[in-house]
């Protein structure tokens, strides 16, 4: 079951939720047809619940948004750490431990 603490981003809310965020942001770029993305989803949901109120955890469906193109996303899943509007790191692929390592960049 998806976490209520995950924010779903689109072209309309990206700036307000990420670029102007007063909290660090973890973004999961995914698609419904992507098996590795679906496999990573429980990790993203767990992080969202664990860090609720401390960081924003967001998801971008690459088929429904132009945001991925702006960040040069060419394969999915990609999880990106952003703080103060600046990308601090990214993980390409279904690597839950590496995704959790990104959290260290957001502290």
Q: Determine if the peptide bond prior to 77 is cis (ω within 30°).
A: yes
58 is catalytic: no
Among candidate residues 6, 26, 34, 44, the one labeled active-site is: 34
User: Is the separation of the CB atoms in 77 and 30 below 8 Å?
Assistant: yes
β 78-83/86-92 pair status:
antiparallel
Task: Kindly name the residue from 26, 37, 55, 99 that is annotated as catalytic.
Answer: 37
Residue 63: both structure tokens together: 């088929």
Q: Show which residues are catalytic.
A: 34, 37
């Amino acid at each position: 079951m998806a976490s209520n603490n995950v924010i779903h981003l689109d072209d309309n809310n990206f700036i307000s939720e990420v670029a102007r965020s007063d909290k660090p942001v973890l973004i999961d770029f995914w698609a419904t047809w992507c098996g590795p993305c679906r496999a990573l989803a429980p990790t993203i949901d767990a992080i969202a619940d664990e860090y609720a109120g401390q960081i924003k955890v967001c998801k971008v469906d690459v088929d429904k948004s132009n945001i991925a193109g702006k960040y040069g996303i060419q394969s999915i899943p990609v999880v990106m750490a952003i703080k103060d509007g600046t990308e601090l790191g990214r993980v390409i692929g279904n690597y839950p431990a590496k995704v959790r390592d990104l959290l260290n960049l957001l502290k």
